[in-house]
Amino acid sequence: MTVPKVTHFETVEDDEMKHAAALPVQPDTTPTTEFGTVVSFPRASELREAPEPPRKAREREDRREWLTEAEVEKLCAAARKRGRWGHRDATMILVGYRHGLRVSELVALRWQYVDLETGRLRVIRSKGSDDSVQPLSGAEIRALRRIKREQQTGERYVFVSERGAPLTSNGFFKMLRRAGDSIGMTDIHPHLLRHACGFKLVNQGVDTRTLAAYLGHRQIANTARYTKMDARRFDGFWQD
């Protein structure tokens, strides 16, 4: 066998070697093939277990979304026992719950919208929601009459502080939270009262359109969340 004669060798200069050494190493991303079939393997990073959600995300999932009617009654009773403003605070909780009021709507309530003779309440909604006129229950009328008797003549707002100014949203939030803490109910905030109203009425059989009008929803899709918790949907599934 004849070995070919090598007549020339290419040399690599020092500068070219340094340049090649400085280049980043590229991973081999080309899949292996066998008989024309692409064989791919999962990367090590894909085999790792998905990380647990952050603590704050888990806490949001665990937060209560509404209150039951029994829980609202317990909050009213707890608020009623707390100091000289107990009756006012309990009435605020009751009215906020019965009419699905946002906290901004509750603290802005004025006597001009309350008709104790006919038992009607004109609900002025915020956030572009629709206003409505709603009936007042006997318990509400009695509670509101007492508040009116104990107020100074000519007071415009229904719920006022010791100084005669309208109670603030933050003031109501703190009161509600303290009332909840006193009976072991944590994570209580004012918007739970609005949700409690929606869940109560939908389980009572109120149809979605009527509930949307009651809560002031212009988009009925905003009311659909309450129908998901309507236990009556599954009545009659099993017959023993």
Q: Indicate which residues carry an active-site annotation.
A: 102, 127, 191, 194, 217, 226
Backbone angles phi, psi at 129, to 5 degrees: -80, 165
Conformational region of residue 154, where left means phi above 0, alpha means psi within -120 to 50, and beta covers everything else? left
129-138 long-range contacts, Cβ below 8 Å, gap at least 24? 129/215, 129/216, 129/217, 129/218, 130/213, 130/216, 130/217, 130/218, 131/216, 132/213, 132/214, 132/216, 134/99, 134/214, 137/98
72: tokens are 């609202």
β-sheet bridge partners, residue 135: 120
150: tokens are 């104990």
DSSP class of residue 110 equals B
